């Protein structure tokens, strides 16, 4: 017992002798007062014209949706199935509550009394360049706030691509179907025509 007590006492003495320089080093906390600088601020202002690593946005089409003052008319990213799938995923999360799953403007929050946004399928929006939708997502428009802090640049373009897909889905014609897919469309129409219509009984 006596040996155990001596061991504990020895460890306690050794612990008090440990250096705590890294733990107790002098430092300033964010927004704290500093007597060292003339403006009394511990946090120093950013040096003019400096840009954080990875934030040099030289591609205006990609980051602003514009070439000069003109909105871009084509996606600055490659259109792929993966891009559309990502766009659908992000659209369903961030856009569909207001704009609806099909882009008709009748989302859940609208059904509960919020302002009704215009349908993506009206002629005015079908004729807008893709840069318009990117600009609205980035900077907001009317009652819509900016989503720049919530949705990264590439995801914004993915959403824009999906909006275009939604517009096409609601306004496509037979002429939009490729020659290779025409037989599939004809077969589907024949099946639909041959299927007897069943009335729904209430």
d(CA 43, CA 37): 10
201 phi/psi in degrees, rounded to 5: -90, 135
Residues 6+ apart with CB under 8 A from 69: none
Q: What is the structure's pLDDT at 187?
A: 84
Q: In 10 A of CB 101, how many CB atoms? A: 15
Token readout for 39 is: 């403006």
Q: What is the structure's pLDDT at 15?
A: 58
Reading the chain (202 residues) residue by residue, the pLDDT tens digits are 667 766 676 666 655 555 666 677 778 888 899 888 899 998 888 888 888 887 788 899 999 999 999 999 999 999 999 999 999 999 999 999 999 999 999 999 999 998 999 999 999 999 999 999 999 999 999 989 999 999 999 999 999 999 999 999 988 888 888 888 888 888 888 887 777 655 555 4
Q: What is the structure's pLDDT at 25?
A: 78
User: Chain centroid to CA 46: how far?
Assistant: 27
d(CA 78, CA 157): 10
Spell out the domains of the chain, with CATH numbers in brackets. 60-172 (1.10.760.10)
Q: What is the structure's pLDDT at 156?
A: 98
Enter the pTM of the model: 0.68
d(CA 126, CA 162): 13
With contact defined as beta carbons under 8 Å apart, do 77 and 62 qualify? Answer: yes
């Amino acid at each position: 017992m006596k040996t155990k007590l001596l061991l504990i006492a020895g460890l306690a003495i050794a612990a008090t002798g440990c250096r705590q320089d890294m733990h107790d080093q002098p430092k300033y906390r964010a927004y704290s007062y500093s007597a060292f600088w003339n403006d009394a601020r511990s946090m120093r202002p950013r040096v003019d014209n400096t840009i954080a690593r990875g934030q040099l946005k030289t591609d205006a089409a990609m980051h602003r949706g514009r070439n000069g003052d003109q909105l871009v008319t084509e996606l600055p990213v490659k259109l792929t199935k993966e891009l559309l799938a990502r766009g659908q995923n992000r659209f369903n999360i961030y856009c569909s509550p207001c704009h609806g799953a099909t882009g008709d403007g009748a989302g859940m929050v609208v059904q509960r009394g919020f302002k009704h946004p215009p349908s993506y399928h009206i002629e005015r929006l079908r004729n807008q360049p893709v840069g318009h939708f990117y600009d609205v997502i980035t900077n907001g428009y009317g009652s819509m706030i900016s989503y720049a802090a919530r949705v990264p640049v590439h995801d914004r373009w993915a959403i824009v691509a999906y909006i275009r897909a939604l517009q096409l889905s609601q306004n496509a014609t037979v002429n939009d179907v490729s020659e290779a897919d025409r037989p599939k469309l004809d077969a589907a129409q024949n099946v639909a025509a041959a299927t007897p219509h069943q009335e729904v009984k209430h």
